[in-house]
Amino acid sequence: MSTGTTGRFQREELVGKYLTFALGNEEYSVPVLKVREIIKIMDITAVPQVPDYVKGVVNLRGKVIPVVDLRLKFGFPPQDYTERTCIIVVEVALATGARMMSIIVDHVSEVLNVTAEEIEQTPQFGDEIETDYMKGIAKVRGHVKILLDLDRVLGVDGTIAMPQASAA
Amino acid sequence: MTTRKTASPRKTASKPRATAKASAVARPRATRKKKAPAIAAPPVEPVIDMTPSMALPSPGAEATIADFVIDDDTELAVVQSDAELGNLFIAEALDHLGTIEAKLLELDDRPEDTSLLNDIFRPFHTVKGNASALGIVSVERVAHKVENLLDLARSGKIQMGGPEVDLVLRSVDVLSLMINDVGQRLAGQPRRATGTEAANLVIEVEQLIAGQLEGAALLVPAPVEIVEAVAPAVAEMVDEPAFEQDRRSATPSRRRDDVPMLAATATAIKVDTRKLDNIVDVVGELIVVQSLIQQDPALASLVDGRLARNMAQLRRLTADLQRNSMALRMVPIRQAFQKVARVVRDISRKAGKSVDMVITGEDTELDRKMVEEITDPLMHMARNSVDHGIESPEVRQANGKPARATVSLSAYYQGSHVIIEVKDDGAGLNTERILESARKKGLVAPDATPAPEDIHRMIFEPGFSTAAAVTEVSGRGVGMDVVRRNIESLRGRVDIRTERGQGTTFLVRLPLTLAVLDGLLVRVGSERCVLPAAAVRESLRPKPEHVHCVQGQPRMVQVRESVLPLVSLGAVLGMGAVALDPSSATVVVVEEGGSRIGLVVEELLHKQEVVVKSLGDSFASVRGVAGGAILGDGRIGLILDPHGIMTMVREGSRRAA
């Protein structure tokens, strides 16, 4: 995997099934193979000394799993959790190995089959917007879905407790 | 080990083996008869005309290293095709080597006990056999050579004195290294350079055998089988096939020796520790669900005798299951003690001190992880005892003490803790010298006169050493502080008892397991946190006149005679600093590393035994938090780390100053 901001992935690598979810009016997606579980929002135990987007930890059948609020991580204004708010439990590959983590999203939409024709490279936005978190975008039925690189979103250096500078 | 797997590597063996096999059938009975009395009556057998030098050449080291560096394709073909088999071999072999090491140390004490030789030989033979069956040639070669030595010792042709035991112990080290290396290589790691060590060892074994047998009789030439089977380069050494038969036919009888051992271990099975951890996880979850159901209001409103009985039964069973699953992780501390015994033996030799090692309570069970983690600190303390504590034999005698010193290692239960003692009858700690050294290092003010116990504890300070000379093993001032840190990270503590001229005792106190914690639940803001009960001295609602303010903030609390710093737990941790009036909240007095502090919490809930979970390395940099515990309602409560909190408070006040 090269470290360029765009074009890190071959189009073929990105083809497959994605779970899509909403943050505000935007549609994001993660590969279904990364998704372990989708649960309703539940009581989260806050952990001190972490960035505000790290909401804390939850107990998933005896396992302690960190929770990241993706709205806050991406700089959306905070919003009260609703009936539709979901926690998506994912497996991410960090520098220290595979870990179970979870993200809070506004609501889960659907599972999409993304084909090579629908995939486009991440456009360059200039400095304002971080594109490192994106593997690319997919245009499906007229809607743009952002393909997230979860390994980067959830831990550039393997620890979410440290406030991270933007990824190099 | 399965015999099914033996087929492929055997086929690759060189041709001469086949002929040897054929002729081996011819005289098995005769040879066995010949061997039997040899074991029963150690005295030397009639001389067979073969000079030791002929059978035991000392090939150049360079030539031999290659014999122990076999490329992975040749050596690891079998284990690579069956990873489980390979792992089984490694685990079993290391197990056997552990047994061998323990028995060797016993043999060192009781060289006359010939049954020990058999106890050493059997597992050694098994390791060799397994390695050979799997085609791990380098291990087989080393093991084989040492086995020869042991075999000669068994039949009384070689005396197992100090140097011989040393050599076999070293071979255990080399073999462990090589076998661990096999695991590494299987995992795709590069090979460690063990070739030289292996080669040197084999040469030394050869020389030792040659030396011992010089002038005496030689019945079984050592290197025959290895030469023929795996090292065709030196095949010219095999000039007497009868010896080959001798060895072959001896093998089945030894196999029979193995049978009782197998039968004895048949009641135990090896289980991957991850599976055990999974069980503990699931059982922890079961307990939570059970208590959720138990407390369910819908269920509580039902008045039904049968339901109540069944619920009670369910609670008993789940509690039972939890206890049992916890017990699965417990192992005897023996393994750690063996390593310490080995270190004491090696170091006392090197330092020219004679030391008796006394071990008691090695069956005391501790969490497996604890046993692993405590081994190094124990080894370090024992090393210190031998190196600094114990005087030279001359000094001891001059002081009217027996020339032979004693280091004892014991373990026993005390409540829900295990106490481990490392005790020596050496010179004891030199209080004056420690104080002098502490003054020089600025740890103590020049005019201060701390209590002796406080002075003694200073040896646990970083960079502290009073050793007159820096020896190979200790005196560099790294170590005792690490010992204390390691023990504290296991939620234990270490104390010293010492008396000049009488000796020193290190007392290590450890919880039985790291998996369960006796905790005190407190409320901080909207969160519930768990304070380790061991660190909590008391809790109180102070009277307003006992709370002292500094700059308008409540900063101190008077608890009976002493005044303690007062800190809001939420503020220290950074969980939202609610300005709490300590006289209406609760103050929990926490003691850690000798200092006490009053933590203000919103509410003291109750005591609870919790299962400790790691928060994972995502939260590695969070301070003051040691982990998470799943509470009765399924939520996670943070387990607090008193040591970390103390440090944060100290740093905070330093920054403010």
pLDDT in tens, B148-186: 888 888 777 777 777 788 888 888 888 888 888 888 877
Percentage of residues in chain A with pLDDT exceeding 90?
Answer: 20
Integer angstrom CA distances of residue B600 from A125, B12, B127, B642, B644: 50, 74, 60, 13, 16
B284/A155 touch (CB, cutoff 8 Å), yes or no? no
B518 DSSP β-pair partners = B609
CATH number listed for the domain at residues B4-19+44-265: 1.20.120.160
Q: Select the residue of B281, B623, B635 nearest A45 (Cβ to Cβ).
A: B635
Within 247-266 of B, beta carbons closer than 8 Å to A belong to none
A47/B614 touch (CB, cutoff 8 Å), yes or no? no
Q: How many interface pairs between A and B have CB atoms less than 8 angstroms apart? A: 81
Q: With a cut of 90, say whether residue B440 has pLDDT above it.
A: no
The mean-pLDDT minimum among A55-64, B65-74, B330-339, B359-368 falls in B65-74
Q: With a cut of 70, say whether residue A2 has pLDDT above it.
A: no
**Domains along the sequence of chain A with CATH:** 11-153 (2.40.50.180)
Distance CA B542, CA B601 (A): 12
Taking contacts as CB-CB distances below 8 angstroms, the residues of chain A near B617 are 94, 96, 99, 158-159
Distance CA A122, CA A135 (A): 7
DSSP assignment letter at B386: I
Please tell me the class of the B516-656 domain.
Answer: mainly beta
Confidence of residue A126 (pLDDT cuts 50, 70, 90): low
A59 close contact with B: CB closer than 8 A: yes
Percentage of residues in chain B with pLDDT exceeding 70?
Answer: 76
A57/B624 touch (CB, cutoff 8 Å), yes or no? no
Distance CA B558, CA B564 (A): 6
Please give the residue of chain A at the shortest CA–CA distance from B575: A48
Q: Select the residue of B575, B630, B636 nearest A48 (Cβ to Cβ).
A: B575
A161/B622 touch (CB, cutoff 8 Å), yes or no? yes
Which of the listed CATH numbers 2.30.30.240, 3.30.565.10, 3.30.1160.10, 3.40.190.10 matches domain B331-511?
Answer: 3.30.565.10
Within 160-179 of B, beta carbons closer than 8 Å to A belong to none
Please give the residue of chain A at the shortest CA–CA distance from B577: A48
Distance CA A69, CA A55 (A): 6
Non-local CB neighbours of B71 within 8 Å, separated by 6+ positions: none
Q: With a cut of 60, say whether residue B217 has pLDDT above it.
A: no
Taking contacts as CB-CB distances below 8 angstroms, the residues of chain B near A66 are 615-616, 618-619
A57/B615 touch (CB, cutoff 8 Å), yes or no? yes
Q: Select the residue of A43, A45, A62 nearest B281 (Cβ to Cβ).
A: A62
Mutation site, B523, B618, B639, interface A, largest A CB count within 10 A: B618
3-state class of B606 per DSSP?
Answer: strand
Q: Select the residue of B282, B288, B620 nearest A161 (Cβ to Cβ).
A: B620
Mutation site, B282, B286, B619, interface A, largest A CB count within 10 A: B619
B618/A58 touch (CB, cutoff 8 Å), yes or no? no
What was the pLDDT predicted at B390?
86
B618/A63 touch (CB, cutoff 8 Å), yes or no? no
Confidence of residue A105 (pLDDT cuts 50, 70, 90): very high
Confidence of residue B220 (pLDDT cuts 50, 70, 90): very low
What was the pLDDT predicted at B19?
40
Q: With a cut of 70, say whether residue B15 has pLDDT above it.
A: no
A49/B618 touch (CB, cutoff 8 Å), yes or no? no
Distance CA B340, CA B355 (A): 13
Select, from the ranges A42-56, A110-124, B124-138, B273-287, the one with the highest average predicted confidence (pLDDT).
A42-56
Q: Distance, in angstroms, between B536 CA and closest chain A CA?
A: 22
CATH 1.10.287 describes domain B273-329: yes
Q: With a cut of 50, say whether residue B240 has pLDDT above it.
A: no
DSSP assignment letter at B45: P
Taking contacts as CB-CB distances below 8 angstroms, the residues of chain B near A161 are 618-622
DSSP assignment letter at B47: P
Domain ranges of chain B: 4-19+44-265, 273-329, 331-511, 516-656
Integer angstrom CA distances of residue B408 from B105, B341, B528, B549, B613: 15, 9, 44, 52, 35
Taking contacts as CB-CB distances below 8 angstroms, the residues of chain B near A101 are 618
The candidate with the shortest Cα–Cα distance to B405, out of B346, B361, B344, is B344
Q: In B301-357, where does DSSP find H-type helix?
A: 305-328, 334-351
Element (H, E) at B623: none
Give the number of other Cβ atoms within 10 Å of residue B433's Cβ: 13
Q: Distance, in angstroms, between B295 CA and closest chain A CA?
A: 18
SS (H, E, C) chain A: CCCCCCCCCCHHHHCEEEEEEEECCEEEEEEHHHEEEEEECCCCECCCCCCCCEEEEEEECCEEEEEEEHHHHCCCCCCCCCCCCEEEEEEEEECCEEEEEEEEECEEEEEEEECHHHEECCCCCCCCCCCCCEEEEEEECCEEEEEECHHHHCCCCCCCCCCCCCCC
Within 613-642 of B, beta carbons closer than 8 Å to A belong to 613-625, 628, 630, 634-638
Mutation site, A40, A44, A49, A68, interface B, largest B CB count within 10 A: A49
A47 close contact with B: CB closer than 8 A: yes
Distance CA B385, CA B273 (A): 34
Please give the residue of chain B at the shortest CA–CA distance from A94: B618
What was the pLDDT predicted at A19?
92
CB B231 within 8 A of CB B83: no
Select, from the ranges A74-83, B67-76, B196-205, B467-476, the one with the highest average predicted confidence (pLDDT).
A74-83
Is pTM beyond 0.95 here? no
Distance CA B107, CA B125 (A): 18
Integer angstrom CA distances of residue A101 from A81, A135, B225, B279, B420: 19, 19, 57, 22, 40
CB B128 within 8 A of CB B71: no
Distance CA B595, CA B589 (A): 10
Mutation site, A43, A45, A159, interface B, largest B CB count within 10 A: A45
Please give the residue of chain B at the shortest CA–CA distance from A65: B615
Taking contacts as CB-CB distances below 8 angstroms, the residues of chain A near B630 are 59, 62, 64
Place of tokens 């946190």: B529
Q: Select the residue of B574, B617, B638 nearest A96 (Cβ to Cβ).
A: B617
The mean-pLDDT minimum among A117-131, B271-285, B520-534 falls in A117-131
A111 close contact with B: CB closer than 8 A: no
Q: Select the residue of A50, A59, A64 nearest B616 (Cβ to Cβ).
A: A64
Express each pLDDT in B550-587 by its tens digit.
Answer: 777 777 888 887 888 888 888 888 876 566 676 677 88
The strand pair at B516-524 and B527-532 is best described as: antiparallel
Express each pLDDT in B506-543 by its tens digit.
Answer: 999 888 777 777 889 998 888 889 998 888 888 888 87
- Print burial letters for B101-132: b (CB count within 10 Å at least 16), e (below 16): bbbbbebbeebeebebbebbbbbbbbbbbbbb
Select the more confidently predicted residue: B262 or A15: A15
What was the pLDDT predicted at B222?
39
B636/A45 touch (CB, cutoff 8 Å), yes or no? yes
Confidence of residue B645 (pLDDT cuts 50, 70, 90): confident
Please give the residue of chain A at the shortest CA–CA distance from B572: A48
CB B386 within 8 A of CB B376: no
Q: With a cut of 90, say whether residue B631 has pLDDT above it.
A: no
Distance CA B9, CA B534 (A): 57
B636/A63 touch (CB, cutoff 8 Å), yes or no? no
Give the number of other Cβ atoms within 10 Å of residue B228's Cβ: 23
Express each pLDDT in B357-381 by its tens digit.
Answer: 899 998 888 888 888 889 888 988 8
- Rounded to an integer, the average pLDDT of B473-480 is 52
Q: Distance, in angstroms, between B570 CA and closest chain A CA?
A: 9
Non-local CB neighbours of B319 within 8 Å, separated by 6+ positions: B287
Distance CA B318, CA B322 (A): 6
Distance CA B17, CA B35 (A): 22
- Give the sign of the dihedral formed by CA A76, CA A77, CA A78, CA A81: negative
3-state class of B469 per DSSP?
Answer: coil
Select the more confidently predicted residue: B112 or B637: B637
Within 265-294 of B, beta carbons closer than 8 Å to A belong to 281-282, 284-285, 288
A57 close contact with B: CB closer than 8 A: yes
What was the pLDDT predicted at B421?
92
Q: With a cut of 70, say whether residue A135 has pLDDT above it.
A: yes
B619/A47 touch (CB, cutoff 8 Å), yes or no? yes
- Rounded to an integer, the average pLDDT of A40-60 is 88
Please give the residue of chain A at the shortest CA–CA distance from B282: A62
CB B459 within 8 A of CB B429: yes
Q: Distance, in angstroms, between A45 CA and closest chain B CA?
A: 6
Q: Distance, in angstroms, between B107 CA and closest chain A CA?
A: 45
What was the pLDDT predicted at B580?
65
Confidence of residue B410 (pLDDT cuts 50, 70, 90): very high
Integer angstrom CA distances of residue A137 from A8, A134, A149: 13, 8, 11
Non-local CB neighbours of B654 within 8 Å, separated by 6+ positions: none
A47/B282 touch (CB, cutoff 8 Å), yes or no? no
Q: With a cut of 80, say whether residue B14 has pLDDT above it.
A: no
A49/B638 touch (CB, cutoff 8 Å), yes or no? no
Give the pair of three-digit tokens for residue B590: 């926490």
What was the pLDDT predicted at B593?
66
Q: Mean pLDDT score of chain B, rounded to an integer?
A: 74
